[in-house]
Structure formats: structure tokens, C-alpha cells
Amino acid sequence: MKSSSRRSGRLIADDRRAAYTMLELMIAVGLTSLLMIALFAALQQYFSLQLDSNEEITRQQIARSLLRQMTRDIQSVVFVKKLANDETSGTSTSVSEGSSSASSSDGSSGSSGSSSSDSSSGGSSSGSGTTGGTGSSSTSTGSASSSSGSLDGNSYGQSSIDPETVMTTYTNGLVGTATDLQLFVSRPEKSLAYVASQDLTSTSQRTSDLMIIRYLMAQSGGGGLASAIADKESIGTKSGPVGIAKLEGDLYGLSTAVETSEESPQLAASKLLAKEVSGLQFRYYDGLSWQESWDSNALNEMPKAIEITLTLRNQEDAGEAFSDNVADPYALPETTHRMVVPIPVAEPFVTESAL
């Protein structure tokens, strides 16, 4: 009896020693929780880095596509440099090539010591009958154009250029500000299906190879074409940049629409390229320094190069630009993409020392 009671007591004691205590259970649960938290944090960081990497790749693709398209359009610009007739008084007046040939055939050549011309029309017609007619004429002393240049008598960047106004008068070159660039390019229609100007019914039709291409930021809460494009694309009431927009169409059709103040043809020829773009900036190189604006007809020369700077945001922030929702404060910050585009038709810069 005593031996059996001793055996049962030992078995009970052995069973008690084999069980887990409350402290051991708490330690095990705590270690398991720490392991799960560490695993969750590692997975979250991995997915966050993966999403950021995909976002950066997407931005790079968008930026490269936009810059490639803008480079092609900029390098397709046509420009007719005006001729310079030096007079005995030392002043020279620039005239277009078409005007000079027509004036020699008609027998009229502006031979006065100081000839004036209408600079407001900006060189809209090439081939006028007399020199000093329509078209912008830049007057300088001893040279056709100054290396430092001026816009309507003001220094670079101080002249207000209205791209919508010059659209009705210019036929070649480019006009640009810090946030707006308008190009006059020559690009044949793919099927070569042209119509007469009087038969033009839509912006998709072409009357010639000449086209107007304009890049600008669509911004809601403003005015003009930029605001109209933003109002057409956005669904909220926020004010600010909506994305980069492009206006492209026939020179005659768009200039006529602007001249008659018709907004629907301009909107039909406009499209929003990328809502991810939150900032657009242009600068123009004259051979010495970068300028904030350029008018090739007023300056009688093209810039040597154009610097394009794009600021891109993520797709979530771009989507919020169309609504009234609050943007994610933890989203990937904006990135800047820059490219310098050389101008093939620009003349090489010659310093005064070289002369």
C-alpha cells in the first residue's frame, strides 16, 4: 500500500512538472507577437518600396514620352529670317524674304534713312508687296539683330507675350513664355488629304502643311484656354494645375477660330496629355544666358536651345486634382525632369570678339 501511494504521488508530481506555467505562456505569446509584428513590418516595407519603385518607373516613362514628343515638335519649327538693308545713316530695318523679293519686282524699296514698320502684327504675312509692310521689323544700329536682344523695346522676360493673340498674326517661328510655348511647324498630313480654306469645317482637317502646336498647363480657376481645358477635364471645384495640355491643329483653322473668338474649335483641338504633370517651365538660350521668354519674329532669330522642366506628381495626387478629396500626405514627393532641346534652324552664336 505504501509503495503504491508513493508511485501515485510521484506520477502526480511528474505530471505537474511537465505542464507550462502562466509565466512561460505569457513569454511564448509575447515572443510570437514580436515575431509577427516584425514579419508584418518587413512585408509592409517591402511592398512600400515596391510601390515607390513602380511609381518612379511610371514617372520616368511619362516624362520621357512627353519630352520626346515636345522635342520632336520643337525641332520641326519653321523660321524665315528677315533680311537686313543697311542704310547710310547706320540704321537697318529687317524685312521678310518674301517682302524683299516682291519689293524689288515692284520697284519699291524702303530706301529712307530710318524706315518704320508695324511691329504689332509680328510678321504675319511673307511676300507682301512693299518692304516695311505687315510683319515685325527689328531696327538696330549696324546689325539686323542684337546679340542680347529685346522684345518690343524691353529686355528679355519683361515683355508680356500673349500666345493667343500672336496665333492670328504669326506664320513661322515660336513664341514662348516661362509656362507657355507656341510653335509654328511644318508637318505634312499623313494621307495628304488637304481641303481648301473655304471648305474647312473642323480642326481635324488640313489646308496645308503648316500647323500650330501649343503646350501649356491646364489650370482651373483661371481664364483663357488653360481654364477651359481644366473645366472640361476636372470634376471638382479645386483651383490649381490639372495637367499638361497640348493644342494642335491647322494653322489657318486655328488662327481663324482665335480671330473670331470661337472657343469650341480650340477645345476640340486641345487634349490633356498627362494629369501627373503639376508644373511646366520653359527657358530659352540666346547664346549667352537663359531667358524667360522669346519672340522669334520680334527678335528676328531663334533661340539656340530650349530648356524644358517638368514636375511630376504621383497618380493618386493627380486623381485628387479632379476632386475635392484631401491628398495623401505620405505619398511620394514630386520629382523634376529636365531636358535641353537644341534648335536645328538656329544660327550659331558669334561673339563680338570673333567679329
Tens of pLDDT, residues 298-322: 899 999 999 999 999 876 666 555 5
Cα separation values, 171 from 133, 161, 255, Å? 15, 16, 10
Q: Round the average pLDDT of the chain to a whole number and report it.
A: 72
Alpha-helical segments (H) within 159-276: 163-166, 224-233, 251-259, 263-268
Position 323 scores a pLDDT of 53
3-state class of 236 per DSSP? Answer: coil
Sequence-distant (6+) residues with CB within 8 A of 242 are 217, 218, 219, 220, 229, 230, 233, 234, 272, 275, 321, 322
Q: Is the pLDDT of residue 94 over 90?
A: no
Position 280 scores a pLDDT of 94
190-199: average pLDDT: 80
Task: Select the highest-mean-pLDDT range: 95-109, 255-269, 309-323.
Answer: 255-269
Q: Is the pLDDT of residue 23 over 90?
A: no
Distance CA 310, CA 66 (A): 9
Question: 229, 218 in Cβ contact below 8 A?
Answer: yes
| Residues linked to residue 219 through DSSP beta bridges, in sequence order | 241
Record the pTM.
Answer: 0.64
pLDDT (tens digit per residue) in 162-180: 666 677 778 889 999 999 9
Q: Where are the domains of the chain?
A: 2-55
SS3 percent helix, strand, coil of the chain, rounded to 5, is: 35, 25, 40
67-80: average pLDDT: 93
Q: CA Rg, the chain, in Å?
A: 34
Distance CA 244, CA 214 (A): 11
Distance CA 172, CA 178 (A): 20
Q: Which of 221-230, 266-275, 284-293 has the lowest mean pLDDT?
A: 221-230
Distance CA 237, CA 291 (A): 35
Task: Kindly state the percentage of the chain with pLDDT values over 90.
Answer: 27
